[in-house]
Amino acid sequence: MARKLFIAGALLASAASWASSANALSITINGGESPTFPPTFTTLASGSSPLSLPATTCCGVTDSFTVSADVIGTPPLTSGSLLTDTIDVNTSAAGTLIIWVTETGLTSPLGGVNFTSGLASNLLEGAISSVTLSTFVSPTNGVSPPNGTPLDTATFTGLGTETLSTVDNPGSGPYSLQEVFVIHATGAGNTNLSIDLTSSVIPEPSTWAMMLLGFGGLGITGWRSHHSRTAAAI
């Protein structure tokens, strides 16, 4: 009877997980151009995952930047993941551009969560002097500017990557994931950037204890089986 209840509970948990991941979450791409900080942000694109931004002029100060992007969230990714597959930025003049990519409405995973940020500068050409990539988790489901916990940040002056895992509790949900791209240019140039933000649940101590007991039980069973075969052979 206990085993039947356990199987039924597992099936219900699996169904709940599938149902939450089946609903597409909202993604927003906002852009703002310095010299004022924080700049006035413009919504460049908004919709469900996956979201594409065609080449768009941005963002009202000099309008010297052109931005395009491809972003994937939930689904098809598992809940707690946000992949900005590419941000392409071209500029014809000096300036600073800030792009915020946000996925809102996340209700899982909850509890202690291990967030892994993969930051990459794939191309820096011309007068792009530096780019700074950052990730955040917002327990208040905020869009921009970030009002949550910083997860990772890195500044690149050339090609490069960085991967960092950060443990945080996003609260009871819904919460949002945010990816920030800051592009500094001293003149004309172009850059290609990407951020891969994923998450995984950290097992509770009781879960670890059950796993250890399970492994211990398997070890004892294996020892008994081996002992029985040895005794029979003698």
Q: How many domains does the chain have?
A: 1
d(CA 52, CA 150): 25
226 in any annotated domain: no
d(CA 49, CA 26): 7
d(CA 198, CA 180): 15
pLDDT computed for residue 143 by the predictor: 87
pLDDT computed for residue 208 by the predictor: 37
DSSP 80: T
Element (H, E) at 11: helix 2-22
pLDDT computed for residue 73 by the predictor: 96
pLDDT computed for residue 205 by the predictor: 60
Q: What is the CATH number of the domain that holds 190?
A: 2.60.120
Q: How far is CA 219 from the centre of its chain?
A: 38
1 in any annotated domain: no
pLDDT computed for residue 13 by the predictor: 39
Note down the domain range covering 118: 25-221
**What is the block-wise mean pLDDT of the chain (234 residues), using blocks of 10 residues?**
40 38 80 78 94 93 92 95 96 94 96 97 97 96 86 97 96 95 96 97 60 52 53 54
39 in any annotated domain: yes
197 in any annotated domain: yes
7 in any annotated domain: no
pLDDT computed for residue 12 by the predictor: 39
pLDDT computed for residue 146 by the predictor: 75
pLDDT computed for residue 5 by the predictor: 40
**Burial readout 1-39 (b: 16 or more C-beta within 10 A, e: otherwise):** eeeeeeeeeeeeeeeeeeeebeebbbbbbbbbbbeeeeb
4 in any annotated domain: no
174 in any annotated domain: yes
186 in any annotated domain: yes
